[in-house]
Amino acid sequence: MKFLWTLLFFAASCFGQSLGEGGVNAAQLIPGVAYDFELCCGGPGSGFVGNGFAYDDGMFHLYYKGTGCLEGCSVNGTIDTWFYPQSISKYCTVQSALLTVNLDSFRWYGNVPAEYSQIFCVENGNHWSGPGGLVVHLSTSE
């Protein structure tokens, strides 16, 4: 029986998690200006099971439910520009990108600009990611 649970655990982690690049810890709304999502490292965030983000083939997906997004916020978009990683220490770099996203929160915002940034580190073959953020700029023309 223990073997079956172990097998199911690994199968679920391999196939059942579409948002596995990192966790979303918090969101702050600056009314009419921006949403600021606090990103973190490894697996999904704490709290609501779906709190996470992923990027694949130029696409970025994020979902967060919690403070700042009590009914849930969903961000989907394309990565327009990856910037060259900036070194911040012997082991760590910051990776940033510009995106065009759709944000569905208490209101839908389509094709708005966003900025992604996160710390990535490598030491002695060990890889880890640190804090980061996604800022979604809301249209103020409406």
Q: How far is CA 65 from CA 2, 58, 60, 132, 140, in A?
A: 33, 24, 17, 18, 24
Whether 125 maps to a domain, the answer reads yes
Beta bridge partners of 28: 36
The Cα 133–Cα 95 span in angstroms is: 11
Whether 120 maps to a domain, the answer reads yes
Contact (Cβ atoms closer than 8 angstroms) between residue 67 and residue 26: yes
pLDDT of 124 higher than 50:
yes
Domains in the chain, number: 1
pLDDT band with cut points at 50, 70 and 90 for residue 130 = confident
pLDDT of 102 higher than 50:
yes
Whether 116 maps to a domain, the answer reads yes
Whether 114 maps to a domain, the answer reads yes
Whether 7 maps to a domain, the answer reads no
Query: Residue 5: enclosing H or E segment and its boundaries?
Result: helix 2-15
Question: What predicted TM-score, i.e. pTM, was given to this entire model?
Answer: 0.78
Task: Note down the domain range covering 98.
Answer: 19-137
pLDDT band with cut points at 50, 70 and 90 for residue 9 = very low
Whether 142 maps to a domain, the answer reads no
pLDDT band with cut points at 50, 70 and 90 for residue 141 = low
